[in-house]
Structure 1
Amino acid sequence: MPNIKSAVKRVKTTSNRTLRNAAAKSALRTSIKKFEAALASNDTNTASFLKQALRSLDKAVTKGLVHKNTAARKKSRLTKKFNKANIA
């Protein structure tokens, strides 16, 4: 544990930020998994799950959790899976 007051504050701040980021990243992964599960089970709400997954990816970019190119790549792949399932 640091002795300097500012260093103590940095430790607390970093800890809070880490927890918040972990929760947000987990929610992102959950939304993507929900979409993929709906896609696999031929659910009728697949489009809404896709919309939610894309929205959570966009939010992750604005919060700095995911790089914008990574999010674009994931969005592209999810949309591609959705379109492929709808054609078949």
Structure 2
Amino acid sequence: MASHKSAAKKSKQDISRRDRNRSGRSRLRTELKKIRALIAEGSSEAKDKLPAIYSLIDVSAKKGFIHDNAAARLKSRLTQAAN
């Protein structure tokens, strides 16, 4: 347990940030799995959903759930797979 008031506050902040980051990353991974499944099926729905997943990837990078270069790489690979 933290022995200073500021350390206790920092611990609480770390826990809430970890939970927020974990849920954001989890949501991103779930959506990536769904779009990859659509691409594997050869569904025409996949190209329609690409802009939404791009937006989610960009937001995830902006909020720090993933690195900026990782976001660019994901978008590039999804585009190649869809085409």
Tell me if TM exceeds 0.5: yes
5 Å matches for 1:49-68? Answer: 49-68=49-68
TM-score (norm 1): 0.87
Deviation at 1:49, TM superposition (A): 2.5
Q: In structure 1, give the amino acid aligned to 2:62.
A: T
Give distance in 2, aligned partners of 1:11 and 1:25: 21
Runs of 4 or more above 6 Å deviation? none
Identity, % of aligned positions: 39
Deviates most, 52-61 or 16-25: 52-61
Q: Is the 8 A contact 1:34 1:49 kept in 2?
A: no
Query: How many residues align structurally?
Result: 83
Gap regions ≥5 residues in structure 1: 84-88
TM-score (norm 2): 0.91
Q: Which of structures 1 and 2 has the larger relative contact order (alpha carbons within 8 angstroms, sep 6+)? A: 2
Q: Cα deviations across residues 19-63 of structure 1 (Å, max 9, x unaligned)?
A: 000000001111111101111223332123322221111001110
Gap regions ≥5 residues in structure 2: none
Q: In structure 2, give the amino acid aligned to 1:70.
A: A
The residue number in structure 1 matching 2:38 is 38
